[in-house]
Chain A
């Protein structure tokens, strides 16, 4: 039954042929086709600052707890309309994510538009959401004795601010908050309701 397969090179060739074809069919071709998806009408590329913020979102691994993929399911409606292919035209590397230890952020720019809230939450999530398990990101901030003009100070509630100091957002924190503010879903045309 496996006479032919006793030649190691025949085995190597057979595996390469079969698996190679399937890898191209199921990996490369879908990649090529879907990489040409046009953006959803009205969807704009991210601003410079938001792109820098997105890079921080990637390097800090936010995607391991937050998704950016609203599913066409009842329980996802709270996060926005169902995501469509064109929404991801400017999203490389893709950040759809696999885990919702934290809420979906596809439409966070609309759902939480307060930058003040975002800065407090990034510095210490439990200052605004008591049961949150999100880690703190103090390294995106600086503690100064006195804020300089033009600094963005973080309005921390009592008990969460470091003693005798003012918490100021670094450029990194500002870029990240800018990125979050640009995570907004473009409303679909009248016809295509979700």
Chain B
């Protein structure tokens, strides 16, 4: 594609911008709802009698918090960016815009129906991160299939001969998620311990193949685009892709160590959990080496600080995951809040921060509307301090729980040991939630509100040629 053609291409189609905006707006609604619920849950630890009601009880809200965060906020936000990135990297407008709109509708219908059903107590078996009833799950999977079709068709219609690495990751995310969901939704081989094996497989692959691949994929576009230089190593990206694809499905059993799952099955999961260092370290290194020598640009950018923290938490959170898989550490950390610290280091520190960074990087380009600089900084620091404090609080709480059990103290002693850190977590959660409100205002500025200002320093970067 000639340089001129690419430059004119830079001003994206109005409807592409509308699709990207709509995905981001609805995702932000779910972020606010899901984390408001999360905040209430965190206050129920120090104040167990708070909001005693069947519709606000911990047991029902916990599933709402996880499912709305996974399938409301993170899925819709990342799919919106993935569709936009597919169009931009292929040098074409989104192909099949109707499917993209239909996909957005299905995502939101599933999230609304799922939330109401869970609040009424209709839970599909307390299987973590797949508690929605079967028909609601199928609506969600339809949304995934529609969005996946949109991306594959857009990439197939690309101008260049080469498929940019972002689209490997995002296409991989859609295909693997449809496969893993089919495996997880079939009931006849999920009886008793059989369901335990499938639950381990599902829980880990949902995060590993859906969120991780989508987040890494869109970062492979947003990072070089904002830094105005190509990715450090294309080959490292391909290595990360295939090793992630091969190792992840094998390690689900590390969620059930010391359970009656076959011992060798658990050992296999532990060995490949160590193997996960290959995609994690190659991916993180690839991004950090791309950033090397450009810290000045990062310091002055809206989006890059979020991507830096996102990649840092990808590296820390996933390496933490590998370490957690060893049996010696499982004896202390399994069943404790240490795992909750890990899940927030990854789903929040990595996945959510990358989604924010990519949205701040690409949405202003699509709509021509800038976020408020002061609020972006406020959002960044509230969320960064919040999640770091959150992860530290629960890592300490979890270690104390595990050690208290190991010493043979009465069970209630582990509750007392963790209690002060649960209060700390509620404070951290408040910071995080305040950051989300600021982010929501910025999203409004970048889409519906705000004014279409003239050039600013970010648009001068825009004239650069995408890799």
Query: Footprint of B on A, CB under 8 Å?
Result: 1-2, 5-6, 8-9, 11-12, 15-16, 18-20, 22-28, 30-37, 58-65, 67, 69, 71-75, 78, 83-85, 87-103, 125-126, 129, 131-139
User: Is B194 a contact partner of A8 (Cβ separation < 8 A)?
Assistant: no
Is there an interface contact between B183 and A71, defined as CB atoms closer than 8 Å?
Answer: no
Roughly how many angstroms separate A15 CA and B175 CA in the complex, as a whole number?
7
B162 within 8 Å of A by Cβ?
yes
Q: Which of A19, A34, A100 touches B336 (beta carbons < 8 Å)?
A: A100
> Are A98 and B192 interface neighbours, CB within 8 A?
no
Would A61 and B415 count as touching, CB distance under 8 A?
Answer: no
CB distance B260 to A88 under 8 Å?
yes
Residue among B62, B259, B337 making CB contact with A69, cutoff 8 Å? B259
Q: A93-B126, A136-B49 are in contact. Are A22 and B163 (CB under 8 A)?
A: no
Min distance, Cβ A43 to any Cβ of chain B, angstroms: 11
Residue of B nearest to A13 (CB): B175
Q: Is B171 an interface residue (CB 8 A)?
A: yes
Complex alpha-carbon distance, A14 and B308, angstroms: 31
User: For residue A139, which residue of chain B has the nearest CB?
Assistant: B54
The answer to whether A132 and B412 have CB atoms under 8 Å apart is yes
Closest 8 CB pairs of A and B: A61-B59, A93-B125, A35-B194, A71-B258, A30-B197, A31-B189, A59-B121, A35-B191
A residues less than 8 Å from B49 (CB atoms): 126, 135-136
B265 vs chain A, min Cβ distance (A)? 7
Residue of B whose beta carbon sits closest to that of A65: B58
- Apart from the given pairs A15-B171, A129-B412, 11 other A-B contacts in the complex at a CB distance below 8 Å: A8-B156, A11-B168, A15-B175, A26-B249, A35-B193, A59-B59, A69-B258, A88-B196, A94-B127, A100-B336, A100-B405
Contact with A136, one of B52, B60, B123 (Cβ below 8 angstroms)? B52
Centre residue among B122, B412, B419 by max chain A CB count within 10 A: B412
Decide: B259 and A34 in contact? CB cutoff 8 A.
no
Q: Would B180 and A85 count as touching, CB distance under 8 A?
A: no
Residues on B with beta carbons closer than 8 Å to the beta carbon of A85: 193, 260
Across the interface, A100 reaches (CB within 8 A) one of B125, B155, B335, namely B335
Bitwise, B321-349 to A at CB < 8 A (1) or not (0) is 00000000001001111011000000000
Q: Are B171 and A11 in contact (CB under 8 A)?
A: yes
Task: Name the residue on B nearest A91 (C-beta).
Answer: B192
A88, B193: Cβ atoms closer than 8 Å: yes
Contact of A6 among B58, B162, B340, B414 (CB under 8 A): B162
Q: Which residues of chain B in 415-458 are interfacial with respect to chain A, using CB atoms and an 8 Å cutoff?
A: 415-416, 419, 422
Query: What's the interface size class on B, roughly?
Result: 35 or more
User: CB distance B259 to A83 under 8 Å?
Assistant: yes
Listed A/B pairs (19) with beta-carbon separation below 8 Å: A8-B163, A18-B246, A23-B183, A32-B194, A35-B193, A37-B193, A64-B58, A69-B258, A75-B406, A89-B191, A92-B190, A97-B335, A99-B337, A100-B405, A101-B415, A126-B49, A131-B416, A135-B44, A135-B49
Taking CB atoms, residues of chain A closer than 8 Å to B408 are: 74-75, 78
Q: In the complex, how many angstroms separate the beta carbon of A124 from the nearest chain B beta carbon?
A: 9
Total A-B residue pairs with C-beta atoms closer than 8 Å?
240
User: Among the interface residues B60, B197, B340, which one has the most CB atoms of the partner chain A within 10 A?
Assistant: B197
Given contacts A30-B198, A71-B258, A93-B127, is CB(A60)–CB(B335) below 8 Å? no
- B45 lies within 8 A of chain A by Cβ: yes
Main secondary structure of the interface of B (DSSP, over half): helix
In the complex, B10 has a CB within 8 A of chain A: no
Residues of the B chain whose Cβ atoms lie less than 8 Å from the Cβ of A83: 259-260
Q: Which residues of B contact A69 (CB under 8 A)?
A: 256, 258-259
- Determine the chain A residues whose CB is within 8 A of the CB of B405 once the complex forms: 75, 100
Chain B residues with CB under 8 Å of A5's CB are: 163, 168
Mask, B166-200, CB within 8 Å of A = 1, is 01100110011001100110101111111111110
- The answer to whether A35 touches B259 (Cβ under 8 A) is no
Q: Which residues of B contact A8 (CB under 8 A)?
A: 152, 155-156, 163, 167, 171
Distance between Cα atoms of A67 and B256 in the complex (Å):
11
A168 to B255, CA, bound (A): 40
In the assembled complex, which residues on chain B have CB atoms less than 8 Å from the CB atom of A125? 48
B37–chain A nearest beta-carbon distance, Å: 13
B123 touches A15 (CB 8 A): no
A92 touches B336 (CB 8 A): no
Q: Is the CB of B175 within 8 A of A60?
A: no
Chain A nearest CB from B260 CB (Å) reads 4
Which residue of B has the minimal Cβ distance to A10? B163
Q: Which residues of B contact A18 (CB under 8 A)?
A: 245-246
Check A98/B198 contact, CB under 8 A, given A15-B175, A15-B245, A27-B249.
no
Is there an interface contact between B125 and A61, defined as CB atoms closer than 8 Å?
no
**How distant is the Cα of A71 from the Cα of B175 in the complex, in angstroms?**
36
User: Is B192 a contact partner of A94 (Cβ separation < 8 A)?
Assistant: yes
Query: Which residues from A are CB-within-8-Å of B189?
Result: 28, 31-32, 35
Smallest CB separation, B91 vs chain A (Å)? 14
Q: Which of B256, B260, B335 contacts A99 (CB 8 A)?
A: B335
